[in-house]
Chain A
Amino acid sequence: DGGITQSPKYLFRKEGQNVTLSCEQNLNHDAMYWYRQDPGQGLRLIYYSQIVNDFQKGDIAEGYSVSREKKESFPLTVTSAQKNPTAFYLCASSIGWRSFTNTEAFFGQGTRLTVV
């Protein structure tokens, strides 16, 4: 089955710890995205990547880091510098720059991160 897999579904972090959220896709998509969603809010872009070994800061990149070593994988690290990390994190992918149409993004099931 083709799709996007995020893990874990729920994650608890102690204050001061770094945690890494996994995102894997087997859709052969070039573009991948990470979003944060707070209760009752829309999606805010953290980082995005159009090709392997390249990524760009989104609107709220501070306190987060990413890597794109493989086309299929785009892990997100929430560092201790992120002061309020409790949120719902969503990973998405799309066909990217290769097409001007059919560029819709598809989402994983999300990871709910809670600081304890």
Chain B
Amino acid sequence: QKEVEQNSGPLSVPEGAIASLNCTYSDRGSQSFFWYRQYSGKSPELIMSIYSNGDKEDGRFTAQLNKASQYVSLLIRDSQPSDSATYLCAVTMIKAAGNKLTFGGGTRVLVKP
């Protein structure tokens, strides 16, 4: 079982619709959760961080965390063609040797005009 799992996609959504991305993780001791966006050939950029159960909204993005279900999601409202990218879920796991930041395989999102 992978430590962080995502559906690879592609997730195709029409412009203006809501894109819903999911991520599950295996380590119950995980503490911090992040969503990054990565355009082709570029390095990842942080779009959301979430540390406690519930929802966190920032502009058109909403992150949802459910630690009991070991599940974190990202909603993108009013999707734009510029949102077409790969979205990476990342989880910080507390290890004796230090905090380990692990990424999922990414979900590719295509927003069609």
Contact = CB atoms under 8 A, between A and B. Distances in A.
Given A42-B106, A100-B31, A101-B51, A94 B101 contact: yes
Contacts, number: 73
Interface in A10-60: 31, 33, 35, 41-45, 48-51, 54, 56, 58-59
Contacts of B104: 42
Interface string A62-102: 00000000000000000000000000001010101100111
B97 A56 contact: yes
Nearest to A45: B102
Contacts of B101: 31, 33, 45, 48, 92, 94, 105
B44 A31 contact: no
Contacts of B45: 107
A48 B49 contact: no
A33 B44 CA distance: 13
A1 B96 CA distance: 33
B46 A104 contact: yes
Contacts of B42: 109-110
Chain B: number of interface residues, binned into ranges: 20 to 34
Interface string B92-113: 1001011111111110000000
B88 interface: yes
A25 B42 CA distance: 18
Contacts of A105: 34, 46, 90, 101
B70 interface: no
B34 A104 contact: yes
B32 interface: yes
B82 interface: no
A106 B32 CA distance: 14
A19 B59 CA distance: 43
Contacts of B98: 31, 48-51, 54, 56, 96-97
9 contacts: A43-B88, A43-B103, A45-B102, A45-B103, A54-B98, A101-B51, A104-B49, A109-B42, A110-B42
